Amino acid sequence: MQILKEKSAINSTKASLIRHDWTQESVEKLFYEPFNDLLYQAQTLHRRFFDSNEIQISTLLSIKTGSCPEDCAYCPQSAHYETGLEKEALLSTDQVVGAALEAKNAGATRFCMGAAWRQPTDKDLDIVCDMVTAVRNVGMETCVTLGMLKPNQAARLKNAGLDFYNHNIDTSEDFYSTIISTRNYKDRIETLSNVSAAGINVCSGGIVGMGESISDRASMLKTLANLPSHPKSVPINMLVRAPGTPLENAATLDPFDFVRTIAAARIMMPSSIVRLSAGRNDMDESTQALCFHAGANSIFYGDSLLTTENPQVSADRSLFKRLGLRPMQANTYHEKD
């Protein structure tokens, strides 16, 4: 009985640390904190909610590549740009299961499937639902990113056994139209609402380094942290400047600015998995280590993320060993007691 009371008190204290009332001013203040103070605050909260040396490992597979009708300025899969990317048809379920087994054997616990669609058709969704069920049957958590979803489509994915749905908001509402014109910010939020209403865990984050201001980064995180429930996973991506896209010559991002974004995300959403996502191939190991210290506790394992390069598994294993990090076990993405 005493143990139950103690756990209840701990959980009550944690609940008090989860906020949904962030103001723009309070978030921007985080970005201007002295670097050491910001990381101390982030690391302290990280340790309250998670094992500080565990990293959740996911693998991302492109199940349908290229010819996307959206004009996202960062994306080499957009049909609006000449990036040299070859269009590929939707993979078969057998191909996806084979890739999932390889990922599981390499140490990943979550398998993410991405398709270059604005929104899936019901016919396409039939196939993806089969993939979700098949991947779950090999013992992996499942995640898909398919573009916008209608409520009935989200419900179908839930019935197929989907664990997570990724739909990044990318940036602030004010900056959004600068990088995408084929849909609006409200479309993004509506899909997140449909996913959440269906009972699927939300995975949503953004991209840093597209020419946005600190105010934009703060606004992006404020939008996520002020949702009715924080996303279970928050991927923070550093822009990969893909040749042929409008952002191929974007200015190089200061690594400290990226680490600050990771730290702010951890402070604002302390019970969420914060994923160090795209752009790791362009980071040195010291920057990645700082990101883990700032509260990142997830990565993508594998040599590629959809169509961009990612560090090799052997390199990640070497870095983990040197930092004393270990993979998080399956189904333990929730915070510790």
Catalytic residues: 68, 72, 75, 112, 143, 203, 275
Residue 164 pairs in a beta bridge with 143, 201
> Which two three-digit tokens encode residue 207?
């991209």
Q: φ and ψ at 208, to 5 degrees?
A: -115, 140
Beta-strand ranges (E) seen in 90-232 are: 110-115, 141-145, 164-166, 201-203, 206-208
Residues near 262 by beta carbon (within 8 Å), at least 6 away in sequence: 42, 236, 274, 276, 291, 294, 295, 296
Residues near 160 by beta carbon (within 8 Å), at least 6 away in sequence: 128, 129, 130, 132, 133
**Whole-angstrom distance, CA of residue 291 vs CA of residue 284:** 11
* DSSP state letters, 256-276: HHHHHHHHHHHHHSTTSEEEE
Angle at 323 between CA 321 and CA 326, to 5 degrees: 60
Q: 70: helix, coil or strand?
A: coil
Alpha helices by DSSP H, 138-168 = 151-160
> Which two three-digit tokens encode residue 93?
């379920």
Answer yes or no: are the C-beta atoms of 66 and 86 closer than 8 Å.
Answer: yes
Residues near 284 by beta carbon (within 8 Å), at least 6 away in sequence: none
| Amino acid letter, residue 290 | L
Q: Give the residue from 276, 278, 281 showing the smallest Cα distance to 306.
A: 278
Q: Give the residue from 270, 263, 259, 267 showing the smallest Cα distance to 334.
A: 270
**Whole-angstrom distance, CA of residue 263 vs CA of residue 183:** 29
Answer yes or no: are the C-beta atoms of 292 and 53 closer than 8 Å.
Answer: no
